[in-house]
Amino acid sequence: MPPALADLFYDLHDRRLLPLVALVVVAIVAVPFLLSDSGSSSPPPAAVAATPANTTANRAARFTVTQVDPGLRVPRKRLAKRHAKDPFIQKFTQPPVSSEAPAAESASTSATVTETPTSLESSAPPAAPVIPIESPPPPSSAPAGGAAGSGTTVVTYTWAIDVKITKTTTKPDGSKERSEPESKEGIIPPATLPTKKTQVVAYIGVNPTTGKPLFLVGTEVTGVFGEAKCAAGTTTCQLLEMEPTFPETFALGEGGANYKINVLTVKRVPVQKSSASPE
């Protein structure tokens, strides 16, 4: 016995499958004989004579006759109303621009597109309208503020004030003497008031937030009376923000003079002009 069959036999013996294999082999051999014996013993069924009526009914049940129109399958008749078209023929064209019209006018006006009526059979999309783009003018070579080739003038501005100052002095007998109001115009910062010798206040400029003039209070001032706002200072006011048209009085101690300063207007004036040569 070959080694493979011997291994298979001993394997089936160990698993106790030899009776089952023998039964399967016997069934395979016996089933054809049993089927042949049962087929030969049964009597054949009686043949039923086919009548012409039954044959016609069976054929009618099995077949269905459908009428076919041959004209539907003829392409010449189905496509007789259509005409062949050349896909390379241009259908949508733009009208030519007249040569007599000036170039500027043709550039500023938009071009008109002639729309050709299309049918459902054409598949080409309509042409988009052509919109000309105007070219911007060339930039000027001349710098701002001067002619071509000249420099640029730079002007510097500052805030000037117009004030009216009145001096009041006290005589030994206790009477007061008031001088005539003195007007000063176009005072630009920094400037001391009322004079350089008598420095009661110093005008330093304008508050950029409120637009009101600012004054430094001199050390000889002992009292300030008026509607002005103290911008800096603890015990004594050192920086004063005055309201235009509202006078402010400054006292210079016992026996000293009093100065009433009234800011009339605040205006912007040019103070310096410089020319910058082009690079």
Query: Quick one: pLDDT at residue 56?
Result: 59
Query: Quick one: pLDDT at residue 17?
Result: 86
Does 202 map to a domain? yes
Domain ranges, residue 267: 156-272
- Report phi then psi at 100, rounded to 5: -75, -25
d(CA 221, CA 200): 7
The two tokens of residue 14 are 């160990």
Does 104 map to a domain? no
d(CA 67, CA 93): 51
Task: Answer for the pair 7, 14: CB distance below 8 angstroms, yes or no.
Answer: no
d(CA 201, CA 259): 10
Total domains in the chain come to 2
Task: Answer for the pair 268, 158: CB distance below 8 angstroms, yes or no.
Answer: yes
User: Which residue, 131, 133, 92, 94, is CA-closest to 113?
Assistant: 94
Q: What is the pTM for the complete model shown?
A: 0.44
Q: Residue 249: helix, strand or coil by DSSP?
A: strand
Does 53 map to a domain? no
Please list the rounded mean pLDDT of every run of 10 residues in the chain (279 residues).
Answer: 81 85 89 77 54 57 66 70 81 65 46 44 50 47 47 88 92 84 92 90 92 91 88 85 92 83 92 69
Does 26 map to a domain? yes
Residue-wise DSSP of 100-163: TS-HHHHHHSPPP-PPPP--TT--PPPPPPP---PPPPPPPSSPTTS-TTPPEEEEEEEEEEEE
Does 176 map to a domain? yes
Query: Quick one: pLDDT at residue 136?
Result: 46
Does 239 map to a domain? yes
DSSP letter at 212 equals -
d(CA 194, CA 164): 10
Task: Answer for the pair 186, 160: CB distance below 8 angstroms, yes or no.
Answer: yes
Q: Residue 71: helix, strand or coil by DSSP?
A: helix
Query: Quick one: pLDDT at residue 116?
Result: 46
Does 197 map to a domain? yes
Q: Residue 33: helix, strand or coil by DSSP?
A: helix
d(CA 184, CA 175): 28
Task: Answer for the pair 160, 187: CB distance below 8 angstroms, yes or no.
Answer: yes
Does 108 map to a domain? no
Bond before 194 cis per omega within 30 degrees: yes
